[in-house]
Amino acid sequence: MLSNYFTVKETGEHEIVIERSRFIAHFARATTEAEAIEFIQRIKKMHHSANHNCSAYLIGEHDHIQKANDDGEPSGTAGVPMLEVLKKRKLKDVVVVVTRYFGGIKLGAGGLIRAYGKSVSEGLNAIGVVERKLMQIVHTKIDYTLLGKVENDIRSSPYMIKEINYLEQVEILTYVAVKDLQNFKEYLINLTNAHATIEDGSLEYLEEKIL
């Protein structure tokens, strides 16, 4: 698992108009090629009357799956520039379809490359990009007498509480960057005078919007 990576914030779409042609960029996350293909087919069905539904996707930790499709536009003028924008933004596990409704004015090869690239770039700005950071969920069990002190101290620290479970003892679940795990445990031991049970939980990605 990557310690961090960038991807689209959410599924969404954004439209621009260039020389009377409508370019609608549709974005989604996709962790498998099957998911990407399903999304592309869904958009094609939704916009079956469009002139073109061009697509591109990047999947995998090392971008080992990447495809671009011009869907009838001149070769290399749509899918490839769309894919290049995704690469330039260093995105992963993302699929984009740009639907074009022809407005009657031909753009030429250079114009098409710029138009499809712009559609994806401006679409990303509108939909948003997030950084996903791999975090260890740390389970800390303490007596109720320590709750106020520990909770207040953690909330004023760089660490983030995920949830608090009120059981026989209080259980605090905290997001901790993997590289900070040992420092966090030492911090808790000092904070509670070693009166805490600390266990590693699952690994989860925490998202932070960057755009």
Q: Tell me the torsion sign for CA atoms 112, 114, 117, 118.
A: negative
Instruction: Please tell me the predicted confidence (pLDDT) of residue 135.
Output: 96
Summarised one tens digit per residue, pLDDT across range 107-148 is 999 999 999 999 999 999 999 999 999 999 999 999 999 999
Look at residue 32 in the predicted model and tell me its pLDDT. Answer: 97
Tokens of 190: 């000092």
Q: Which amino acid is at 167?
A: L
Phi, psi values for residue 35, rounded to 5°: -65, -40
pLDDT band at residue 209 under the 50/70/90 scheme:
confident
Tell me which amino acid residue 78 is: A
pTM given for the model: 0.86
Asked if pLDDT for residue 197 goes beyond 80, the answer is yes
- Residue 44's pLDDT band (cuts 50, 70, 90): very high
pLDDT band with cut points at 50, 70 and 90 for residue 1: confident
User: How far is Cα 96 from Cα 89, in angstroms, rounded to an integer?
Assistant: 13
